[in-house]
Amino acid sequence: MLLQESVKAQYKWVQNMICYQEGDVLVPVVPKTLVKAVLTKAHEDITGGNIGEEKTLKKVKQMGWWTTRKEDVTNWVRHCQACQVYKVRNISQVALMKAILPTFFSEIWAADIQ
């Protein structure tokens, strides 16, 4: 199989493993059969503890590389039952209501109907 030089330069053969050059770091190429194991280890490991999408991606980047890595991490965290139950949600505060001040007598009428 022939690869273009620009593509070939990103891959290295190290200790019987294909590695991907990511910046200054060489990380192993993860086969599709091991992606689930890597995601589980990075996200649910005792040192991980359901750490969310950004931190999980950071750990996964240290463990290995595959083409759909970012999308797989996003989907993994979104479908993680523990994350959905215990996730801290950033719910925006609703603005306080302002009183409507009438400008002249009998401008505003209201009725309580029960």
Whether 40 is in a domain gets the answer yes
Whether 53 is in a domain gets the answer yes
Whether 56 is in a domain gets the answer yes
CATH of the domain at 54: 1.10.340.70
Whether 60 is in a domain gets the answer yes
How far from the centroid of its chain's Cα atoms is residue 23's Cα?
21
Name, in order, each residue with C-beta under 8 angstroms of 64's C-beta and a sequence gap of 6 or more: 27, 28, 29, 30, 34, 38
Whether 104 is in a domain gets the answer no
Write down the residue that tokens 């209201």 correspond to: 110
Q: Number of structural domains, the chain?
A: 1
Q: CA-CA distance, 82 to 108, in Å (whole number)?
A: 51
For 57, the domain range is: 5-85
Q: CA-CA distance, 11 to 21, in Å (whole number)?
A: 6
The answer to whether the predicted template modeling score (pTM) of the entire model surpasses 0.75 is no
One pLDDT digit (tens) per residue for the chain, 114 residues: 555 565 567 888 889 889 998 888 899 999 999 999 999 998 887 766 778 889 899 999 999 999 999 999 999 999 988 877 776 666 667 777 788 888 888 887 777 787
